[in-house]
Structure 1
Amino acid sequence: MLSSSCIPSALQAAQFSDWQLGAQIRQLSFWTQKQQPAPPSLILVSLGQRPQQEGFRKALYSLQAIFPSQSQLILDLGYLPHPQALSFVLEQPLVQNSCLLLLDPEEQAFPTLTKQLNSKASSIIDQNLIYQEAQSSYLNQLQINGNFAFLGYQSHYCPKNSLISLQEAGAWTQRLGLLQSQLSEIEPSFRESQQLLFRLNSLAQNGFLNPQSPEPNGWTNKEACQIMSYAGLSDNIQLLCLQNFRADYQASPLAAKLLAQMCWYFWSAFKERLAEGIPPLHELKRYALQLPQDNLPLSFYQSLRSGRWWFSLDKEEENARLLACSEKDYLLACKGQISERIFWSARQL
């Protein structure tokens, strides 16, 4: 059984102003109450020991409040020093009905998450995709299919055979340089995913996050926060795991602040979720195209509510299966060009 001792000791006695996030986050003591409050919408939990990670929570709790003061929607489950306890946490109805943000500095969660990654649509942000080329690769433990999106890989770290094998298995892949040229292209993948695994060793020049092997190229700090915003806006993502980073925030306060701000951007965007899902046809504006060279019936749909885009390769509009895409996919189709996303989707049919 979890207990309130999991909560950082330095935060139990801390006083936070109404404008600070710490005033809105409930702690684990509610588990011991006879009458439990309404379930939270957001849950935070960390794997690892408490002393090294208190700096992160101090930085997080001191940030600007997100929700109205009367609406406390965030629950902090504290720390899980034993990764085996994660299975118990994930099985709890409270967690299953909320959105979970999991901090996993040393990849201890992966054995537990493998089953979930294999059974649900998932996005993985990683610079290094080695599949069937090395026995130690975590990708070998996954049942790769069309439910996986691998985002932000760097070509010089990825064997060509690995990329070919992933793509032949049905996975969607997008290169780092392509996404950095237009970061909004990452959003459709999040809309189709229920889980997101963000490996933070793919951030550039962040020796404070990855002191043993800092990267010269990769995501910038600003891009990392933007990515978290896109993930927060997704109606589908219910589990976000941040992996591969330095957990000793006392020795590296800059790492604590970056992780705190990334979480803040995710939660802030979560507050703006529209719960739109895939809108009904009467809430969509349809653009029908016919590409004669491919004999491909292609329709694009734009939400009248959010402005987001979907497409369909079905001939009949009433039973069309709508798949997430971007405006760029539509504009390319208007020029008679099939984007990689639509080409990949056509192969999955």
Structure 2
Amino acid sequence: MSETNIKLYLKPVDFSKFKAAPWVQSKFSLGKILEKNQAKLPLDKADIVLIGIEEDRNAVERGSAKAPNKIRQYLYHLNRISPRFKILDLGNIKVGKTANDSYFALRDVCNSLVAQGKMVVVLGGSQDLTFGITKAFEEDPFNLVNIDPKFDFKKGIKTINSESYLNFIIEKQPNLYSQTILGYQNYFVDGLELDHSYELGSELKRLGEIRYDMSHIEPYMRDADVLSFDINAIRLLEAPAQYFGSPNGLYAEEACQIGHYAGMADHLKVAGFFNLIPRLDRDDLSSKLMAQVIWHLLEGFYFRKIEAPGSKREDFNEFLLEIDDIDLPLTFYQSHKTGRWWMKISDEEDSREQIISCTEEDYRMAAQNEIPDRWWKNIRKLNRMQNK
């Protein structure tokens, strides 16, 4: 799809609606760069693109359609990351006659931008829009990471909404390689839901697990193609513009750290931020926080270091570990530049290899003759994709 055709889907940003707060140094603000880039930067020269979508007709609680411009209001107030940051805000996708039309418009826009090598940041809107984003990956395997306090999968439900959209992704997207839920809270999840998620091969990390060591979520982010961030994952005190309203959840700084990891992620192509309801906000606290999470994503993207063990072997340490229960040695790689870790897996017939992100802890487990859980899970995923 050409740049002209993409613009047919979009309403450009009217920057005159976003007046700077008195404390903002306007000439150093992100909004000033975005306004300048809207006038001068061609799409083919941009590295990262913002789009909004004012769609919430399938939300369990309406109101998030008002969020994109509210988030922009506070995002534009924040300081620029670099005066030469090649970033564009293309405006809001025109809402279709039905929510389904909006899903397909979002699919087409994301598909086109990703095909052009752009990373896309989506300002929602309700979280069922994640379904529209994943429709852009119907030709290639993709990894989905959800930041969520619960599982938006309701077995047997045939109607899509912001609490059941995962049904439609898991059941209708054959190229879904991996689905991960980070930050869920166990008292919101039934044991049968847990069992079913494990059967589906989902990766699950409770809030307490990721809080114990936030760096452990980095490998999940590094391999993600799509990120879907539900504001309900943040505790109510710090993000009141939500219908869920739990006293527990991510702290504001943890949400920003997730944004930073997402921006640095080598493979991330689309990141969506959803379910913020401005009419429920107090002092616009949620909009300010979501703007800061997105700012951290943009900063992480600007400073990201793309590296892969298969490219420049001299930039990596390679470790071969013999384990009793596996015929072939486990291969691990560590980057000289960033200290990050990867491991190599292969399918049952040893005909297909894949290098996946991991932690130093995975390496240390293997060094003690223990097979890392991440290795088992990814072997199962690889074999499942091979058999489709």
The answer to whether the 8 A contact 2:12-2:92 is kept is: no
Amino acid at match of 1:329: D
**Aligned Cα root-mean-square deviation (Å):** 3.3
Specify whether residues 320 and 52 from structure 1 end up closer, same or farther in structure 2 by C-alpha distance, changes over 3 A only. closer
Q: Could you give the per-residue CA deviations for residues 81-140 of structure 1, whole angstroms, max 9, x where no partner exists?
A: 515243443344588431111011323524422423665222122221154535152221
What secondary structure is seen at the aligned counterpart in 2 of 1:45? Answer: strand
- CA offset at residue 190 of structure 1? 1.5
Tell me the residue number matched to 2:147: 125
Q: Could you give the per-residue CA deviations for residues 188-229 of structure 1, whole angstroms, max 9, x where no partner exists?
A: 111212111111111112474444331122211111000010
Tell me the residue number matched to 1:65: 80
Candidates 312, 321, 338, aligned match of 1:306: 338
Instruction: State how far apart, in whole Å, the 1-side matches of 2:79 and 2:345 are.
Output: 44
What secondary structure is seen at the aligned counterpart in 2 of 1:156? Answer: helix
Amino acid at match of 1:142: I
What secondary structure is seen at the aligned counterpart in 2 of 1:76? Answer: strand
Instruction: State how far apart, in whole Å, the 2-side matches of 1:249 and 1:76 are.
Output: 26
Amino acid at match of 1:24: I
Candidates 30, 34, 39, aligned match of 1:25: 34
- CA offset at residue 58 of structure 1? 2.8
What secondary structure is seen at the aligned counterpart in 2 of 1:24? Answer: helix
Question: What is the percentage of aligned positions where both structures have the same residue?
Answer: 26
Instruction: State how far apart, in whole Å, the 1-side matches of 2:328 and 2:376 are.
Output: 11
Tell me the residue number matched to 1:339: 372
Give me the TM-score of the superposition, normalised by structure 2. 0.77
Instruction: State how far apart, in whole Å, the 1-side matches of 2:200 and 2:316 are.
Output: 32
Q: Which moved more, 1:266-275 or 1:98-107?
A: 98-107
What secondary structure is seen at the aligned counterpart in 1 of 2:329? Answer: strand
Unmatched runs of 5 consecutive residues or more in structure 1: none
Instruction: State how far apart, in whole Å, the 1-side matches of 2:145 and 2:298 are.
Output: 18
Specify whether residues 226 and 92 from structure 1 end up closer, same or farther in structure 2 by C-alpha distance, changes over 3 A only. same
The answer to whether the 8 A contact 2:149-2:184 is kept is: yes
* 1:323 partnered with 2:356: yes
* 1:192 partnered with 2:213: no
* 1:106 partnered with 2:139: no
What secondary structure is seen at the aligned counterpart in 1 of 2:272? Answer: strand
Specify whether residues 249 and 5 from structure 1 end up closer, same or farther in structure 2 by C-alpha distance, changes over 3 A only. farther
The answer to whether the 8 A contact 1:45-1:102 is kept is: yes
What secondary structure is seen at the aligned counterpart in 2 of 1:25? Answer: helix
* 1:141 partnered with 2:173: no
Give me the TM-score of the superposition, normalised by structure 1. 0.84
| Number of residue pairs aligned between Structure 1 and Structure 2 | 342
The answer to whether the 8 A contact 1:56-1:249 is kept is: no
- CA offset at residue 241 of structure 1? 0.4
Specify whether residues 87 and 117 from structure 1 end up closer, same or farther in structure 2 by C-alpha distance, changes over 3 A only. closer
- CA offset at residue 148 of structure 1? 1.7
